[in-house]
Chains A and B, each alone.
Chain A
Amino acid sequence: MNHRMIIPAALLALLLAVGCREPLDREHVVDFWGMGREGEVVEQLLPEFRRRHPDISVQVQQIPWSAAHEKLLTAFVGDAMPDVFQIGNTWLPEFVALGAVQPIEPLVARSTIVVRNDYFAGVLDTNIIGGALHAVPWYVDTRLLFYRTDLVAAAGSDEPPRTWETWIETMERIRQRTGRYGILLPVRDWYAPVILAFQLGADLLRDDDQYGNFQSPAFRKAFAFYIDLFRRGLTPRAAEAQVANLYQDFADGYFAFLVTGPWNIGEFGRRLPAAVQDRWSTAPFPAPDARYPGVSVAGGASLAISRRSRQPAAAWALVEYLSEPPQQVEFYRLTGDLPARRSAWENPSLRGNPYAQAFWVQLQSVRALPKIPEWERVATMITQYVERTVRGDLSIDDALAGLDREVDAILAKRRWLMHRAARAAADRGSR
């Protein structure tokens, strides 16, 4: 070749030599995907892990929640799943059905760090699918009442309501005496109606989650109670576009109660003006009867290991590390996310936090949502029917019948698959 090709050829050879360097044998690279604020903050927990495991290198990638579901699915389809990833508890059934998650029951059984009994029972239950544990809860989430203590005091109560009856009475009195709304309920939301249904013991789906059960007496009663809050004018009809000014409206005392989760402990502390800081508090949900507190939903996120992970041992080491009580406490300090392990709650920063104490009480009474891959779709359907009923487009009976019909249609493929599996099992049995 002529002399003009020597330099480019040499550069190319150098590039190939450098680019094809073999990774250091002793280095295990664990890819970790964290979502939202948790993804931003987890890097700060890792120096201690690196000190203990110098041969494991953790690459953290941060994914916003709005894109997380799609990214995980796309990664699964493209066989580019991370080794360890954070996953919302309501998404776990979907990824288990896909076969994307490694069952970790044997790993947990052998582990001295991840102790099953130390987790909130209702929250651990969300990770048990098909009888086996598939992920380890990282932090917990539930919904309860945040409220303005001064408005409740103006209604003549010195403590938050413990039953549905006193709750309605308090909100009515707030409206009469101060002219403010009792509660802010978004028109497009499924959390509150589902929580109320759980408190009445309603099952959202029946027959092993194959059919909708929305016309059952318990769900009907809960739904009617929820719609009634709108009809009585106890809540402004807030569209999603207006929730951006939530903190300003709460500071103004536009409404007294709010159903929301633990991230708002920190947000309220940061965003509410100083004058309002001593005028709000949290309280567990009132119950329809005397069994306080009322049940709420078990949420939060867990740590899962991908089934096709090439570093399962290193991945499990990372999961164990993040599940240690001291790391859970540190994580709480960084994000305000409540620890999933009960022993972590003994730390003074949680014991001494009056807002977190309501969550401690509530987390003892939480229930898991239906563990089916179609849950997100069913939840969206509930949202749509709630919205249409609140707007008066549908009567309650029509709404519940429509909801049953549409949810039955959503679950059609699930029924077909279960039917097919049952037939296959019967065939095998009869041979």
Chain B
Amino acid sequence: MRNPGRLPTGPGPWFAVPALAVIAAFFFVPVAAALVLSVTDFDIYAIADPDTLRFVGLDNYLRLLREPRFRTALTNTLYFVGVGGPLSIGVSLGAAVLVNARLVRFKGMFRTVFFLPVVTTLVAAAVVWRYLYHPRHGLLNYGLAWLGVAPIDWLGDPAWAMPAIILMAVWKNFGFNMIIFVAGLQSIPEHLYEAARMDGAGFGEQFRRITLPLLGPTMFFVSVMTMIGYFQVFAEPYVMTQGGPADSTLSIVLLMYEEGFRWWNLGFAAAVAFVLFAIILAATVVQLRWARAEFGPASAADRRAGGVA
């Protein structure tokens, strides 16, 4: 290193300029434009006549925080992330453990089958799930009736609509995380399990003492990515329930879509986008701090293991 602490010189950085230009043009400029939009009252009138545009400062943000529909959307999204996230990760982990088990044959086929929902078209899947969820003719209620449970109005009852969406979203996405977990599981050395079995550890013990700790970094990655993705849930409620019934499946991005692209209140929608960004950033920073404490240098895991501190 010839100039430690100083910016790199020479022809090298210039090779990055085209890529930086593209990122600037297609990322930074639109984000800056959105920020500007969010402090105006851009709407359908402004499309026709820019003269009608008014600068409103933080008015959009204040209106947003007072708006009952935004609070509903935030609650619904937190519900989705809080329940759907752990459920999705749990199902993915369970599927990965099952697929990776020593006694299972045709591992490749099972992995493919579990991954298939991820590649199906959401709209086609939603049509089928809408029939599954039909209160009178659907397969789910038929199964419930067999068990003696009264029919549930899955997509029509505000209490059951979000669980229905969560179920469908988990089914659709668990295959993706499963593949990541399988990779993580395969990196755990087999001799650790052999040693544990010789010491008389059952499956539960092996899982808790070996699998989970060694999957720590993978788990962290999966949980951050899932959380970021789930905060932006849009397609499932948009296709299945359009935010209903009674706004019980209205998510933040769905609210932003309605305000921005149905009613063309782009100023307000841009404000929603920045608020969502702030929420996701905060949640990710919290997770990063926790992960650094758990897995980083001089981490809590090291201290627990009595290692180098």
- Using CB atoms and an 8 Å cutoff, list the residues of chain A in contact with chain B: 69-70, 73, 76-77, 94, 97-100, 187-188, 237-242, 244-245, 248, 373, 376-377, 384, 387-388, 391, 393, 413, 417
Chain A positions within 8 Å of B242 at CB level: 240
- The stretch that binds A, out of B6-14, B129-137, B212-220, B222-230, is B129-137
B261 with A70: CB separation less than 8 A: yes
List 26 contacting pairs A-B, 8 Å CB cutoff, sorted by A.
A69-B262, A73-B47, A94-B44, A97-B45, A97-B48, A98-B44, A98-B47, A99-B49, A237-B156, A238-B156, A239-B156, A240-B244, A241-B133, A241-B134, A244-B131, A245-B134, A373-B44, A376-B262, A377-B263, A384-B247, A387-B246, A388-B246, A391-B158, A391-B245, A393-B246, A417-B52
A237-B156, A240-B244, A387-B246 known; A98+B137 contact, CB < 8 A: no
Collect the chain B residues with CB atoms within 8 Å of residue A241's CB: 130, 133-134, 154-156, 240-241
Chain A residues near B43 (CB-CB < 8 A): 413
Enumerate chain A residues within 8 angstroms of B156, measured Cβ to Cβ: 187, 237-239, 241-242
Within 8 Å by CB of B44, from A97, A244, A245, A248, lies A97
Q: How many angstroms from the CA of A244 to the CA of B131 in the assembled complex?
A: 9
Q: How far is the CB of A171 from chain B (nearest CB, A)?
A: 21
Contact B245–A242 (Cβ < 8 Å): no
Whether A239 and B245, one on each chain, are in contact in the complex, defined by CB atoms closer than 8 angstroms, is yes
The smallest C-beta distance from A123 to any residue of chain B, in angstroms, reads: 25
B153 within 8 A of partner (CB) = yes
Of B41, B43, B154, B263, most A-chain CB atoms within 10 Å: B263
A391's partner among B131, B134, B137, B246 (CB-CB below 8 A) is B246
- B193 at the A/B interface (Cβ < 8 Å)? no
Given contacts A241-B240, A242-B156, contact A417 B247 (CB under 8 A): no
CB distance from B196 to the nearest CB of A (A): 49
| Cβ-defined partner of B245 (8 Å) among A99, A100, A387, A413 | A387
Residues of A close to B45: CB separation below 8 A: 97, 373, 413, 417
| Closest A-B pairs by Cβ, 9 of them | A239-B156, A241-B155, A98-B48, A377-B263, A99-B48, A239-B245, A241-B130, A387-B246, A391-B246
**With A73-B44, A73-B264, A239-B244 already in contact, 5 other A-B pairs whose C-beta atoms are closer than 8 Å:** A70-B262, A77-B47, A241-B130, A241-B133, A376-B262
- Whether the pair A245, B241 counts as a contact (CB closer than 8 A) is no
> Given A98-B47, A417-B52: A188 and B134 within 8 A (CB)?
no
> Closest Cβ of chain A: how far from B130's Cβ, in Å?
6
- For A410, the closest partner residue in chain B by CB is B263
Q: How many A-B residue pairs have CB under 8 A?
A: 72
What's the minimum C-beta distance from A65 to chain B, rounded to whole angstroms?
14
Contact with A along B151-176 (1 / 0, CB 8 A): 00111101000000000000000000
When distances are taken between beta carbons in the complex, the residues of chain B under 8 Å from A384 are 247
Looking at B154, B242, B245, the one whose CB has the most chain A CB atoms below 10 A away is B245
Interfacial chain B residues near A391, Cβ < 8 Å: 158, 245-246
Residue of B nearest to A97 (CB): B48
Chain A contact residues, majority secondary structure: helix
On chain A, the residues within 8 Å of B130 by CB distance are 241, 244
Which residue on B lies nearest to A99, using beta carbons? B48
Contacts of B262 in A (CB 8 A): 69-70, 376-377
Residue of A nearest to B245 (CB): A239
Instruction: Tell me the bound Cα distance from A77 to B154 in angstroms.
Output: 40
Cα A237 to Cα B155 with chains together (Å)? 12
Q: Are A245 and B137 in contact (CB under 8 A)?
A: yes
The distance from the CB of B80 to the nearest CB of chain A, in whole angstroms, is 18
Give the nearest-CB partner of A373 in chain B: B44
B135 partner residues in chain A, CB cutoff 8 A = 242
**Cβ B41 vs Cβ A239 within 8 A:** no
In the complex, what's the smallest C-beta–C-beta distance from B91 to chain A, in angstroms? 24
- Of A100, A242, A384, the most chain B CB neighbours within 10 A belong to A242
- For residue B232, give the distance in angstroms from its CB to the closest CB of chain A: 20
A249 to B167 CA separation, bound complex (whole angstroms)? 27
* Shortest distance from the beta carbon of A398 to any chain B beta carbon, whole Å: 13
B262 to chain A, nearest CB (A): 7
B263 closest partner in A (C-beta): A377
Q: Which residues of A contact B131 (CB under 8 A)?
A: 244
With both chains docked as a complex, state the minimum distance between the C-beta of B125 and any C-beta of chain A, in angstroms.
15
| Residue from the list B137, B244, B263 in contact with A387, Cβ < 8 A | B244
CB distance from B229 to the nearest CB of A (A): 25
Q: What residues of chain B lie closer than 8 Å to A242, measured between beta carbons? A: 134-136, 155-156
- Over the window 95-138 of chain B, the binary record of Cβ atoms lying under 8 Å from chain A Cβ atoms (1 yes, 0 no) is 00000000000000000000000000000000000110111110
Residues of A within 8 A of B47 (CB): 73, 76-77, 98
* Alpha-carbon gap, A98 to B45, bound state (A): 7
Instruction: Tell me which residues across on chain B come within 8 A of A376, comparing CB atoms.
Output: 262-263
Task: State A413–B43 Cα separation when bound (angstroms).
Answer: 9
Closest Cβ–Cβ distance, residue B269 to chain A (whole Å): 13
- CB pair A239 B44 closer than 8 Å: no
Closest to B133 in A: A241
> Whole-angstrom distance from the CB of A386 to the nearest CB of chain B?
11
Docked Cα-Cα span, A77 to B47, in Å, equals 7
Q: How far is the CB of A420 from chain B (nearest CB, A)?
A: 8
With a cutoff of 8 Å between Cβ atoms, the chain A residues found around residue B137 in the complex are: 245, 248
Which chain A residues border B49 with CB–CB below 8 Å? Answer: 99
Residue of A nearest to B130 (CB): A241
With both chains docked as a complex, state the minimum distance between the C-beta of B242 and any C-beta of chain A, in angstroms.
7
Residue ID in chain A nearest B244 by CB atoms? A188
A187 touches B245 (CB 8 A): yes
Q: How far is the CA of A76 from the CA of B133 in the complex (A)?
A: 40
